[in-house]
Amino acid sequence: MRLRSSALFASALALMVVATASPALAADATGTWKWTVERDGNTIDTVFKLKQQGEKLTGTVKRQDNESDIEDGKVTGDMISFKVTRENNGNKFVVMFQGKVSADSIKGDVKIDRDGNTQTREFEAKREK
């Protein structure tokens, strides 16, 4: 009987360790992140201000003087995804972000869809301290 109780206790303990370890794998995307690119001799900063609540991601994306609210923001483990709708010369287009969050960076892809023409490029945003 004692052996059986010990085995049940060990199983319960192992299950608790696995259950509590899983949330530690999820990254925290909350904060201010900055992505800088050089284009045609100009430095262009994009700033993400993100707030994570469980699997929901909200916030804004600011590039130059244009700030847009995040739409469809999601967090799954250490992966985030969201989109923003922008307008240029009266034409709306969608910018989609997907990336992996680590302690101090988000690395991923940004896709810009303009009239069915999609451009993809990589980005790396650094956490502002």
H or E segment at 94?
Answer: strand 91-101
pLDDT at 2: 53
Instruction: Please state the domain extents for the chain.
Output: 26-127
Task: Tell me the one-letter amino acid at 65.
Answer: D
More confident residue, 5 or 31: 31
pLDDT at 114: 80
Q: Would you state the structure tokens that stand for residue 51, as one six-digit string?
A: 């707030």
Q: Would you state the structure tokens that stand for residue 63, as one six-digit string?
A: 């590039």
Mean of the pLDDT values across residues 70-93? 93
More confident residue, 21 or 90: 90
Q: Which of 15-24, 45-54, 114-123: highest mean pLDDT?
A: 45-54
pLDDT digits 0-9 by tens, 34-61: 999 998 999 999 999 999 999 999 999 9
pLDDT at 129: 82
- Within 10 angstroms of residue 1's Cβ, the number of other Cβ atoms is 5
Distance CA 73, CA 14 (A): 34
Arch. (CATH architecture) of 26-127: Beta Barrel (2.40)
